[in-house]
């Protein structure tokens, strides 16, 4: 009986996007920061801290110059701890206070995957002690800038990102990718508007797949074909649109936002599904008191699913969270459902620090 080679299936599954193109570099659509996760990722217009380098690079210019160097970090565990998602970012002001540079590093990885290609010894016998582990890891580095200007009496900021993507599947496959984001943010009175063209140039990942001679022998002996993929994976442009409102009265603030995520890679399972455009809306709300404590809630990922009775129903991904501002530090926490039928929840924690210059 033919053996099931788990590692081979993992590689094929991870590289399916090489041919399909859809959902390419999808780890960059998960979203960073616990604040954003708690608000259903509806932060395209309201973001105004170091995480803007990811969400809306134009909003880097909205960070007050007196905040100095901002540092952000996040750790999250998805799919009941199977996937680890980490972020580290920096935002540095220019001397004139109207520009900021942002640098973000993102890692999404699944570690400890059994490599069953080493299951057999030299004589063809099964030896479980030979099994070693490998990781499937995605990295992204984003370097961006935001520039503040004015428009019709409001504050207009323009910006963009250059991104480098490196994806690794053990020793079997890896790719390098490059892309560009462009963005704008308008602040007019209490209103906030955001517009982001993500992967506006299309992002290209060049894949290489390789196996050792021993691994090829195992694949052939177990009835598998040898993959020979030297391919180019393309991430199609996306458009993110956000509109928010900031209401303040005394020590209380309220900030709702509605965002739209428009993809151009064909029909997806979203609230508005079409070809080539699909639209995934999200909504978030943040209630603050004395610029000290924040309570947040959000919803996104509206998807149509099949029930056991062969009917259909709509599912969503709800989320809640809190934030505390303690001097130079802001600590945020989010509790969010992945929006699937398994009811798997994830905890997201992020930290923001402002290293203000001495006066």
Q: Assign 3-class secondary structure to 301-348.
A: EEEEEECCCCCEEEEEEEEEEEEEEECCEEEEEEEEECCCCCCCEEEE
19 or 326: whose pLDDT is higher?
326
Looking at the domain assignment, is residue 292 inside a domain? yes
What does the angle CA 12 – CA 276 – CA 230 come to, to the nearest 5 degrees?
Answer: 30
Looking at the domain assignment, is residue 206 inside a domain? yes
188 or 8: whose pLDDT is higher?
188
CATH of the domain at 309: 2.40.160.40
DSSP 60-81: GGGS-GGG-EEEEEEEEEETTT
Is the entire prediction scored with pTM above 0.85? no
Looking at the domain assignment, is residue 236 inside a domain? yes
Can you tell me the distance from the alpha carbon of 240 to that of 255, in angstroms, rounded to the nearest whole number?
A: 19
DSSP single-letter state for residue 126: B
Residues 36 and 246: beta-carbon distance below 8 Å: no
Looking at the domain assignment, is residue 194 inside a domain? yes
Highest mean pLDDT: which range of 188-192, 202-206, 341-345: 188-192
Rg from Cα positions in the chain: 22
A 10 A CB-CB count for 264 gives 14
* Region of 112 on the Ramachandran plot (φ > 0 left; ψ -120 to 50 alpha; else beta): left
Looking at the domain assignment, is residue 1 inside a domain? no
Can you tell me the distance from the alpha carbon of 196 to that of 159, in angstroms, rounded to the nearest whole number?
A: 9
Number of domains in the chain: 1
Looking at the domain assignment, is residue 35 inside a domain? yes
The 3-state DSSP composition of the chain as helix, strand, coil percent (nearest 5) reads 15, 55, 30
Q: Is the pLDDT of residue 3 over 60?
A: no
DSSP 220-267: HHTTPPPP----EEEEPPEEEEEEEE-EEETTEEEEEEEEEEEE-SS-
Band of pLDDT at residue 289, cut at 50, 70 and 90: very high
Three-state DSSP class for residue 270? coil
Element (H, E) at 86: strand 83-93
Can you tell me the distance from the alpha carbon of 163 to that of 220, in angstroms, rounded to the nearest whole number?
A: 38
What does the angle CA 249 – CA 251 – CA 253 come to, to the nearest 5 degrees?
Answer: 60
Can you tell me the distance from the alpha carbon of 135 to that of 145, in angstroms, rounded to the nearest whole number?
A: 32
Using CB atoms within 10 A of its CB, is residue 53 exposed (0-12), middle (13-18) or buried (19+)? buried
User: What is the pLDDT at residue 349?
Assistant: 93
Q: Which residues pair with 196 in a beta bridge?
A: 183, 240
Q: Please give the residue range of the domain that contains residue 139.
A: 6-355
Residues 22 and 16: beta-carbon distance below 8 Å: no
Q: Is the pLDDT of residue 224 over 90?
A: no
Q: Is the pLDDT of residue 265 over 50?
A: yes
313 or 250: whose pLDDT is higher?
250
pLDDT tens-digit series, residues 112-164: 887 776 666 666 666 666 677 788 899 999 999 999 887 777 899 999 999 99
Looking at the domain assignment, is residue 218 inside a domain? yes
Looking at the domain assignment, is residue 207 inside a domain? yes
User: What is the pLDDT at residue 108?
Assistant: 93
166 or 222: whose pLDDT is higher?
166
Average pLDDT over the chain, rounded to an integer:
84
Band of pLDDT at residue 65, cut at 50, 70 and 90: confident
Can you tell me the distance from the alpha carbon of 354 to that of 327, in angstroms, rounded to the nearest whole number?
A: 9
pLDDT tens-digit series, residues 308-326: 777 788 888 899 999 999 9
């Amino acid at each position: 009986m033919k053996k099931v080679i788990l590692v081979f299936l993992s590689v094929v599954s991870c590289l399916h996007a090489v041919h399909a193109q859809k959902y390419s570099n999808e780890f960059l659509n998960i979203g960073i920061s616990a604040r954003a996760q708690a608000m259903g990722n509806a932060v395209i217009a309201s973001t105004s801290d170091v995480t803007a380098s990811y969400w809306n690079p134009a909003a880097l210019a909205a960070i007050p110059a007196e905040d100095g160097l901002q540092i952000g970090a996040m750790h999250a565990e998805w799919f009941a701890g199977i996937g680890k998602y980490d972020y580290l970012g920096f935002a540095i002001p220019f001397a004139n206070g109207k520009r900021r540079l942002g640098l973000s590093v993102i890692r999404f990885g699944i570690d400890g995957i059994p490599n069953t290609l080493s299951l057999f010894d030299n004589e063809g016998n099964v030896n479980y002690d030979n099994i070693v582990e490998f990781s499937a890891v995605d990295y992204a580095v984003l370097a961006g800038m935001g520039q503040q200007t004015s428009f019709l009496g409001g504050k207009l900021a323009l910006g963009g990102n250059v991104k480098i993507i490196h994806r690794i599947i053990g020793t079997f496959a890896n790719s390098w990718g490059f892309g560009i984001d462009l963005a704008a943010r308008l602040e007019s009175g209490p209103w906030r508007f955001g517009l982001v063209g993500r992967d506006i140039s299309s992002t290209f990942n060049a894949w290489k797949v390789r196996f050792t001679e021993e691994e090829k022998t195992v694949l052939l002996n177990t009835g598998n074909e040898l993959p020979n993929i030297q391919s180019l994976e393309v991430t199609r442009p996306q458009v993110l649109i956000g509109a928010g409102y900031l209401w303040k009265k005394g020590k209380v603030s309220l900030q709702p936002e509605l965002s739209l995520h428009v993809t151009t890679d064909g029909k997806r399972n979203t609230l508005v599904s079409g070809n080539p455009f699909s639209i995934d809306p999200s909504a978030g709300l943040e209630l603050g008191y004395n610029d000290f404590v924040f309570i947040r809630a959000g919803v996104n990922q509206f998807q149509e699913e099949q029930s056991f009775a062969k009917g259909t129903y709509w599912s969503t991904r709800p989320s809640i969270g809190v934030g505390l501002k303690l001097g130079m530090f802001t600590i945020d926490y989010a509790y969010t459902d992945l929006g699937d039928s398994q009811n798997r929840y994830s905890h997201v924690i992020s930290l923001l620090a402002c290293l203000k210059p001495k006066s």
